Structure 1
């Protein structure tokens, strides 16, 4: 009899649990439908309820955060149009995924010659940083800089430097180098060029200097140049951290590499912040980086990145941040870097952000769609929490998710 009671109770429990789970999933589906707003895209221009919502949210916010799957052609076009719409409410800066000094170089070339200036910079050996070797990304920088021609710090680089060590080293050579630092700097420059020469000869990405270089070479320059200017010191620090971060990666210590990179991103942003904020701690900016960097809370890389820092910083200043994750449409390709030939090629999305978001994709089949994550948060519990981890992370990590149905892969930015 006792066994029968246990069996009956167990069966009843699973019956109720299954029906509760189905009801929860049905409620979530209805909530997703109710939260959806279409984004229209015609002749290169965005409009519609979703665009109006993003503009209104951006006007109310201090930080507008765009976390993306890299390589979507339409996303930088949207970012440029949003920045233009938000400029009047005080937006003056764009945070991007390159090193601080490379961002400064790009801005100087854009200020002088626009997109052609960027083409000239990228024509130099190593001049092309990651991501901005894509046509639409380069044009976004040119469009945004053109909106603020008199601002000398529109572009704020916060990342390490994957490929542009050679222009950084050339820039360092052009500074007033202490006699004690000349030999170590020459040795570092020679090591970089040797590594790149081998990369070109063997077409093997392991010889890209940022992955093959020895951090001790940069440390020697730093120690021999004690009175360096702030810009020189920052650039040398970037080079050393880049080599340290990638050495972790090469050694198979992926989390340590990600954590070290996050620490650098946060450190670089706060350095910029000290320079651009006013006495009340106010400055409006847009940030456009990979989605993991702008995810609130524990990111998909198991780190606490800028997506956690920036909303808290905005609230400390009496403001707020608004964040949107931008994803490619179902079966759409994105531009992915081929490190062997250093060129962007169309390929399926590779960063895993679309995984587990079938509930959103199911309701964005007919066009670009913006989903309000705030409306879904009360429902993310029980089975939806434990069995839909990626959806759970998207719902709480971003305020909005934009699925760019019909999106295309970014094109290569042609330069010599």
Structure 2
């Protein structure tokens, strides 16, 4: 294109875009046939991935520094598949880290003796500090225990979520308080937190309460920990959590700040990830990690809640390191089959709900996306484009069911 004017280049680009939106030609394949041609079945257990889909996934991730696992939460088979995937990535491609949508202090505790590698002890820890683990299902805790057994070092699991349950933080901070006045304020905050969030479910009434962010800010100043120290970081983390949850409360009251609940949260993810990444990188080898988050956080590009998420950051960061990233949209199916699947997603799936796990190669469908989206109404085009360009494959898990919570005795979200 050298030598052409910018207007000529714009005309060429517009022509190319028009071609993407051109009507189907008589020789174009049917969308269902395209999807079928790029769908591969597989099987999995806690330990293994097998079948054509497993072989495809192994090859597709060979040059990846990061694999992004976009899930729905509190399900039984989804974390089991994540465990099998981590084993494969570790054994075949040298992955050594799991990055999760969990509290960073919780993950430090999960890797500390005697908890490390022991799902039962992790369950007892979750019961002691409800909300310390954002996801404390048996299957999630068993995944954390698996990674703790397989990998050494404090960066085997990186938790980059903001705090949900402050009581664990307050207990450690109280023990290190510089004077009685600070210790008394921590005790008052701890007691108030237990009053606001008394049950053992996902509950952030304390951290979202008006005025709590300011109290935490004063506590941080009075505590006087060295900037960047563990205790200062814990207090900063509580402040940031109160800020993020506060945006949600304020938006509910009509203030135009809902966007920041998403964008500030994603920025905090990135900050904590880079803290963990830099520590891991000091060991010499290029850190390779499996990310396990809600699907909204794993998009390449802008996600549906109008943030550039940690998933997009991971893609760009991998490129900067001369590598690739690979995004999986993990779709659980219950007994209802496709009944609850939106149309914009359904057109990327096999025509008939599968009876075994299947991976659909979106990279292969992406150049033909104008054909795949033909059945959709105009309002479904945006979420369709976000998904087919934001992920590299869809993993369908039929027969999914709720997670169990026997190890902790807590209640799940379902």
Shorter-chain TM band? 0.7 to 0.9
Q: Against the structure 1 CA distance between its residues 97 and 355, is the aligned structure 2 distance closer, same or farther, given a 3 Å change threshold? A: farther
Residue 231 of structure 2: aligned partner: 232
Residue 363 of structure 2: aligned partner: 374
Over residues 372-416 of structure 1, what are the superposed CA-to-partner deviations in whole Å (9 max), with x where a residue is unaligned?
Answer: 111111122496595433222211001111111122221124336
Question: Does 1:315 pair with 2:351?
Answer: no
Q: Against the structure 1 CA distance between its residues 113 and 404, is the aligned structure 2 distance closer, same or farther, given a 3 Å change threshold? A: closer
CA contact (8 A) 1:136 1:411 kept: yes
Q: Distance between the aligned counterparts of 2:365 and 2:27, measured in 1?
A: 11
Question: Does 1:258 pair with 2:255?
Answer: no
- Aligned residue pairs total 376
Q: Against the structure 1 CA distance between its residues 366 and 205, is the aligned structure 2 distance closer, same or farther, given a 3 Å change threshold? A: closer
Over residues 244-264 of structure 1, what are the superposed CA-to-partner deviations in whole Å (9 max), with x where a residue is unaligned?
Answer: 111110112322211111111
Q: Distance between the aligned counterparts of 2:228 and 2:178, measured in 1?
A: 11
Matches within 5 A, 1:63-74: 63-74=66-77
Q: Distance between the aligned counterparts of 2:154 and 2:216, measured in 1?
A: 28
**TM-score, structure 1 normalization:** 0.81
Q: Which moved more, 1:26-35 or 1:71-80?
A: 26-35
CA contact (8 A) 1:99 1:238 kept: no
Matched residue SS, 2:387? helix
Q: Against the structure 1 CA distance between its residues 192 and 24, is the aligned structure 2 distance closer, same or farther, given a 3 Å change threshold? A: farther
> Structure 2 stretches of 5 or more lacking a match?
1-20, 252-256, 410-414
Question: Does 1:191 pair with 2:221?
Answer: no
Question: Does 1:50 pair with 2:46?
Answer: no
> Structure 1 stretches of 5 or more lacking a match?
1-17, 334-347
Question: Does 1:392 pair with 2:394?
Answer: no
- 1:199, distance to aligned residue in structure 2 (A): 3.9
Residue 214 of structure 1: aligned partner: 212
Q: Distance between the aligned counterparts of 2:292 and 2:117, measured in 1?
A: 23
CA contact (8 A) 1:64 1:286 kept: yes
RMSD over aligned Cα atoms: 3.1
- 1:296, distance to aligned residue in structure 2 (A): 0.4
Q: Distance between the aligned counterparts of 1:312 and 1:41, measured in 2?
A: 30
Q: Distance between the aligned counterparts of 1:381 and 1:57, measured in 2?
A: 24
- 1:232, distance to aligned residue in structure 2 (A): 1.5
Q: Say which structure is richer in helix.
A: 1
CA contact (8 A) 2:173 2:186 kept: no
Q: Against the structure 1 CA distance between its residues 310 and 44, is the aligned structure 2 distance closer, same or farther, given a 3 Å change threshold? A: closer
Q: Against the structure 1 CA distance between its residues 173 and 157, is the aligned structure 2 distance closer, same or farther, given a 3 Å change threshold? A: same
Q: Distance between the aligned counterparts of 1:325 and 1:35, measured in 2?
A: 15
Q: Distance between the aligned counterparts of 1:60 and 1:291, measured in 2?
A: 22
Q: Distance between the aligned counterparts of 2:246 and 2:46, measured in 1?
A: 45
Residue 157 of structure 2: aligned partner: 155
Matched residue SS, 1:156? strand
Q: Which moved more, 1:115-124 or 1:189-198?
A: 189-198
Question: Does 1:410 pair with 2:413?
Answer: no
- 1:236, distance to aligned residue in structure 2 (A): 1.1
- 1:311, distance to aligned residue in structure 2 (A): 1.1
Matches within 5 A, 1:16-415: 20=23, 27-41=30-44, 46-88=49-91, 89-108=93-112, 111-112=115-116, 114-126=118-130, 128-131=132-135, 133-148=136-151, 150-162=152-164, 164-175=165-176, 177-179=177-179, 183-184=181-182, 186-200=184-198, 208-212=205-209, 214-224=212-222, 225-227=224-226, 230-252=229-251, 253-278=257-282, 282-329=286-333, 331=335, 356-359=344-347, 360=349, 362-381=351-370, 384=374, 386=378, 387-415=380-408
Q: Distance between the aligned counterparts of 1:42 and 1:218, measured in 2?
A: 45
Q: Distance between the aligned counterparts of 1:242 and 1:278, measured in 2?
A: 28
Q: Against the structure 1 CA distance between its residues 22 and 209, is the aligned structure 2 distance closer, same or farther, given a 3 Å change threshold? A: farther
Q: Against the structure 1 CA distance between its residues 235 and 199, is the aligned structure 2 distance closer, same or farther, given a 3 Å change threshold? A: closer
Q: Distance between the aligned counterparts of 2:216 and 2:286, measured in 1?
A: 35
- 1:51, distance to aligned residue in structure 2 (A): 1.7
Q: Which moved more, 1:387-396 or 1:400-409?
A: 387-396
